[in-house]
Amino acid sequence: MPWFNGDYPPSYKNQPPKLRAKAVEIANMLLAEGVSEGVAIATGLKRARQSFTPKKKKR
């Protein structure tokens, strides 16, 4: 079940709006590829967090 405008998984409820929007975008792409809903939800949130985490610079 794809998610849109304010309709998102309950586990996304307490996430910041920007992070939640990115997680929904990623999860919807995964669903379109045939990934199961539970995996898409978890992976979407994980990848969204990674995209907003500053990366450490290598010296």
d(CA 20, CA 56): 23
Which residue intervals of 1-59 are DSSP H helices? 17-32, 37-52
Q: Is the pLDDT of residue 55 over 70?
A: yes
Tokens of 50: 């990674």
d(CA 14, CA 28): 19
More confident call, 56 vs 27: 27
Furthest-apart CA atoms within the chain: distance in Å: 44
d(CA 15, CA 58): 29
Which pTM does this prediction carry? Answer: 0.83
